A = this chain, B = another copy of it.
Amino acid sequence: MSRCKSCEAPAVIDVRRHNAAFCADCFLRHCREQTRRAIEQHSMIAAGERVLVAISGGKDSLALWDILLDLGYDADGVYLALGIGGYSTTSQRYAQDYADRKGAKLHVVDIPAEHGFGIPEAARATKRVPCSACGLSKRHLLNRAALDGGYDVVATGHNLDDEAAVLLGNVLQWQVDYLARQRPALPATDGFARRVKPLVRLAERETAAYCVLRRIDYIIEECPMAAGNRHLRHKETLNDLEERTPGAKATFYVQFLERMLPVLEGVATEERALVGTCSRCGSPSSAEVCAFCKMVERVV
């Protein structure tokens, strides 16, 4: 049996890309430490700032909230009810259970109640794939929740696997503007709260193990609308690569941050210069009416 890298106790989990195994306590410390380092490295959250954590009820967002609270941050949660039938009901329950157990504050934005439609209707009406309609709604509504609640920063649970898969998708089509924007911390701009991804140094398998070891219950099923989407296929492709070359996934993502993002600085600056204000809702938008308001108009 392998031994914990830090304390020599029997190990319960191995992290192949670090060529290391950990006992439960040291693994939890590893997760906190990787999160702390990501926050520090990318200047994600300054002392005294108020953080709004986007909570889906899944392993990543609940692990993130737990770690941020543990690290002493002033972190509230926000749950977006997306109107995806039983999946939404169940995931909201996990989010609320965690908040209740910790005595933490969870805001709920009920999209069907407040806007008159759920993600399935929005996708149908706009002929977007559901994940596109959903991502668009989340970006808009999380930002609105942060501004309305006076939060300095929105934190999301995107992990290394997520970011690497998004990166692969952007690279396969060379979406240069998306690449230039794919940062672990997007600074606040007029009308946008800062957006940060403190879990980018942790793999999916690690956030799942974190929740298990911390006895945090979370919704295990993938969203039914995401089944078979490109993002999941890109994850498979990267998992195959990782299987053959442990560390390949982290190299792909980390080297992108270190070597490529600086080259894309000019593209990012051009992009930001194009952002104006939505004439309907006042949110930042590069078109006269922002994509969310356009979607609302079409679906309602």
**Which stretch from A52-60, A140-148, A260-268 is at the chain B interface?**
A260-268
Across the interface, do B256 and A174 meet the contact criterion of CB distance under 8 Å? Answer: yes
**Which stretch from A68-76, A151-159, A236-244 is at the chain B interface?**
A236-244
Q: How big is the A interface, by class? A: 20 to 34
A248 within 8 A of B: yes
Across the interface, do A252 and B173 meet the contact criterion of CB distance under 8 Å? Answer: yes
Q: What is the bound-complex CA distance between A173 and B241, given in angstroms?
A: 12
Given A237-B240, A241-B237, A244-B233, A260 and B173 contact (CB-CB distance below 8 Å): no
B171, B244, B263: which contacts A264 (Cβ < 8 A)? Answer: B263
Q: Chain B contacts of A264 at CB under 8 A?
A: 263
Main secondary structure of the interface of A (DSSP, over half): helix
Within 8 A of B (CB), among A256-282: 256, 258-260, 263-264, 266-267
Q: What is the bound-complex CA distance between A240 and B266, given in angstroms?
A: 34
Within 8 A of B (CB), among A204-238: 233, 237
Q: What is the bound-complex CA distance between A176 and B261, given in angstroms?
A: 10
Q: What is the bound-complex CA distance between A233 and B241, given in angstroms?
A: 9
A19 within 8 A of B: no
Q: Chain B contacts of A189 at CB under 8 A?
A: none
- Of the listed residues A174, A233, A241, A256, the one surrounded by the most CB atoms of chain B closer than 10 A to its CB is A174
A251 within 8 A of B: yes
Given A171-B171, A244-B233, A176 and B259 contact (CB-CB distance below 8 Å): yes
Across the interface, do B174 and A260 meet the contact criterion of CB distance under 8 Å? Answer: yes
Across the interface, do A263 and B267 meet the contact criterion of CB distance under 8 Å? Answer: yes
Q: Chain B contacts of A300 at CB under 8 A?
A: none
Q: Across the two chains, which residue of chain B brings its CB closest to A254? A: B174
Q: Chain B contacts of A175 at CB under 8 A?
A: 259
Q: Chain B contacts of A244 at CB under 8 A?
A: 233
A172 within 8 A of B: yes
Q: What is the bound-complex CA distance between A263 and B175, given in angstroms?
A: 12
- Of the listed residues A176, A244, A264, the one surrounded by the most CB atoms of chain B closer than 10 A to its CB is A176
Across the interface, do B260 and A176 meet the contact criterion of CB distance under 8 Å? Answer: yes
Given A233-B244, A237-B240, A263-B264, A251 and B172 contact (CB-CB distance below 8 Å): yes
B233, B248, B266, B267: which contacts A172 (Cβ < 8 A)? Answer: B248
Across the interface, do A174 and B259 meet the contact criterion of CB distance under 8 Å? Answer: yes
| Chain A residues in the interface with B (C-beta under 8 A) | 171-176, 233, 237, 240-241, 244, 248, 251-252, 255-256, 258-260, 263-264, 266-267
